[in-house]
Structure 1
Amino acid sequence: MNADPLDLDGHEMVIQCRDAGSGLRAIIAIHDSSAGPAMGGCRIAAYPSTAAALTDALRLSRGMTFKNIMAGLPHGGGKSVILLERPEDKTPALLLAFAERVNGLGGRYITGEDVGSTVADIQLMRKVTPHVRGIPENGPGDPSPMTALGVFVGIRKAVLHRLGAETLTGLTVAVQGLGAVGSRLCGLLHDVGARLVVADVDPARAREAADRFGAAIARPEEVHGARADVFAPCALGAVLDAGTIRALGAAVVAGGANNQLATAQDGARLAERGILYAPDYVINAGGVISTALEGPGYERGELLRRVHGIADTLGEIFEHAIADGVATSAVADRLALGRLEAARHARRSAVAALPAAA
């Protein structure tokens, strides 16, 4: 899954969007739609270059294919990024111009909240296109609580597997990133008696978490080395590389960030150190499950059942990793690719069964 992100061959469609009137500069990447319409959020951020934004979009869209297929959702993977130079450049006109581009794809890509975008932004886009999810209409709305819940149940499963601990009470979790997911995860962990070490690029967020949860504060660039039972990366990706893995102070890595491994080899590096890694696109799937189940038939009980099922999927991955003597990241990729190939086969069979044109 961690192939060169600049290799476009694996993507079905990559679109560069521009609108002079609103200043829109965006990229929509559709990686694979074998299992259904591509689904993935809209990230709004300042990028150093268009090439950097493209790299991010391609990596994230590929990750969404794996996330959706492993969550058993009828969706393929896609992602979009909107490039900003300044925060004030995120205007209603820009968001509506982007929504028009999404609408022009006719449902092939469905978007929602992500880093830099809010529920209010998605509600505004809904005025232009129905191909958005994650708003309080026939569903739970904001997907971040379900992402945090999925990470929480995943941490419990990983701790049981690696440490033999049936409870998180008294264990230490180092949380990197205190945004919508990280802050909610801290609350869940605090409620069951876990000790917290927190870090965020915004010092005010770190101080707030320290006050609310009695957490210790670490520097964002050093928190991975904190003496903890679990390291939970919940900020941006590529945090696990050769250097940070050498310095890790935890026996388990389980967090909400996407694309946590800088390279495919980093999964093996974690395994070599005896560190149990919960593959990111499995453990952080609660949010996309939430958005996928949105609609007239939405049932909260079914949503919670599916999110808690993340622990079962992780358990399967952990057991395969032991049996096969390979990294959990490799097991997850193998399972995802197998499910993806099955979806592609089903699609080919369905196309072949269609009546020939007259």
Structure 2
Amino acid sequence: MPGSPQWPHHESVVISSGARTGLPVIIAVHSSVLGPAAGGCRIWRYPRWQDGLEDALRLSAAMTAKFAAAGLACGGGKTVVALPEGYDLTPDRRHDLLSDIGDAVEALDGRYATAPDVGTSTLDMVVIGERTSHVFCKPTEHGGSGDSSPATADGTLAALRAVGARLGGGAADGTGPLRGLRLAVVGLGNVGSRLAELLSEAGAELVLSDIDAGKRELADRLGATWAEPHEALTAEVDIVVPAALGGVLTEQIVPELRCRAVVGPANNQLAVPQVADSLQTRGIVWVPDHIASAGGVIHAVTVELDKRPEDEARQRVRGIEHTVAGLLQDADSGGVTVAAVTEELVRARLGTPDLG
């Protein structure tokens, strides 16, 4: 339904009822200007399936920006399945649901490829791959690039290095721009946990937090301070690193922040776009999440879709540091937010005045 009044900025939004489960499978294709669309497959519980649709629309547009800013020949897309409250996703039902998703992806005839996201894994991609070839991030033993979490964490570290240098971090002996800085990592999933370990190795002082108290073991092992999520988000640190679900940066939370920058891999960090301006008013640097979290898709696309060597993929991921350094410099020169500079870059690469 390209150009429809409901979704004017999306090329197509397809909602199909799974033949096996009856659950609504939502696939939003935001753009194919730079190439076929790609994006993760999210299986999550929502109060209403329409909330899942809104998530798909936001996330697919963010994927377009992520690919464009990274200079990749892909457009943005997203798959979302909204699980009803109380729905028991047994192993058999899960297999059926993944098959339904595969059918929905295959029906788009190569205009969209999917990968793991919240609620799905690399092994799930194997099941989806039984119904379609338009899937990536399968395990390496199945011919894929594997879990994207390490590359996402590596890319976020690259972004943090650029911001650390901007904040004047690092020891006089040149051991790195994050040494001696204090960072709060909020969310210790696959990406957040690896990132915490990388930051510890880089000499940063850490505050760690997760809704799962069992993750406190990681904090103890790294010698980090443990805090509840809100406490960590508002801790007196140099950089807050959102690494859980989105919407954490609200107009209400901005006055409570006691950091100099916010840089993290969580998607859709801003509750509303205006929060970027509120952060700038307080002198807090915010690097858009589609820049900081791009390492995973950069690695997967380079290896699986572009068929380039692993070394080149890692080099592209490390290049996020250079990208962020350039965005910070341009934002300073123009007296605008990094978000505004990033949006201008993406618009230029897409050749469009409106990202939607």
Task: Write out per-residue CA displacement over residues 30-72 of structure 1, whole angstroms, 9 at most, x where no aligned residue.
Answer: 0011001001000110011112111111000000000001111
Any stretches of 5+ residues in structure 2 without a counterpart? 171-175
What do the CA deviations read for 1:112-154 (whole angstroms, capped 9, x no partner)?
0111100110111111111001122555311110000000111
**Structure 1: distance between partners of 2:274 and 2:252:** 13
1:200 to 199, 210, 229: 210
Corresponding pairs, count: 338
Partner SS state of residue 43, structure 1: strand
In structure 1, distance between residues paired with 2:161 and 2:211:
27
Pick aligned residue for 2:135 from 132, 137, 147? 132
The CA RMSD measured in Å over matched residues stands at: 1.9
Equivalent AA in structure 1 for residue 300 of structure 2: T
Identity %: 41
Q: Give the Cα separation in 1 of the matches to 2:333 and 2:159.
A: 20
Aligned pair 1:161/2:161, yes or no?
no
Secondary structure of residue in 2 paired with 1:32 = coil
Q: Is the Cα contact below 8 Å between 2:260 and 2:284 reproduced in 1?
A: yes
What is the CA–CA distance in structure 2 between the aligned matches of 1:291 and 1:30, rounded to whole Å?
19
Secondary structure at the counterpart of residue 243 of structure 1: coil
Matches within 5 A, 1:1-358: 8-19=7-18, 21-85=20-84, 86=87, 88-89=89-90, 91-135=94-138, 136=140, 137-165=142-170, 166-205=176-215, 207-295=216-304, 297-341=307-351
Q: Say which SS state the counterpart of residue 21 (structure 1) adopts.
A: coil
TM-superposed CA distance for 1:13, in Å, is 0.5
> Which secondary structure does the structure 1 equivalent of 2:78 belong to?
strand
Query: Which AA in structure 1 matches 2:124?
Result: D
Alignment TM-score, normalising by the size of structure 1: 0.90
Runs of 4+ in 1 over 4 A off after TM superposition: none
Q: Which runs of 5+ in 1 are unaligned?
A: 1-5, 345-358
Report the secondary structure of 1:91's partner residue: helix
Q: Quick check: 25-34 or 81-90, which moved more?
A: 81-90
Between 1 and 2, higher relative CO (CA 8 Å, sep ≥ 6) is seen in 1
1:253-301 CA deviation, whole Å, 9 max, x = no partner? 1100111111121111111111111111111100111221123833111
Question: How many angstroms apart in 2 are the aligned matches of 1:84 and 1:236?
Answer: 17
Letter in 2 for 1:112: A
For 1:107 and 1:130, locate their aligned partners in 2 and report how far apart those are by CA, in whole Å: 9
Structure 1 residue 342 displacement after superposition? 7.1
- Aligned AA for 1:17? S
Q: Secondary structure at the match of 1:42?
A: strand
Q: Is the 8 A contact 1:39 1:110 kept in 2?
A: yes
* In 1: Cα distance, 2:50 partner to 2:320 partner: 34
Return the alpha-carbon distance in structure 2 between the equivalents of residues 262 and 249 of structure 1: 19
CA contact (8 A) 1:35 1:343 kept: no
Equivalent residues of 2:219, 2:225 under 8 A apart: yes
CA 1:241–1:193: 2 relative to 1, 3 Å = same
Task: Give the distance between the partners of 1:71 and 1:312, measured in 2 at CA.
Answer: 11
Query: C-alpha displacement at 1:325, in angstroms?
Result: 0.5
Normalised by the size of structure 2, how large is the TM-score? 0.91
Between 141-150 and 186-195, report the one with greater CA deviation.
186-195
1:303-330 CA-to-partner distances (Å, cap 9, x unmatched) read 1110011111111111111111011111
Does structure 2 retain, via aligned residues, the 8 Å contact 1:233–1:254? yes
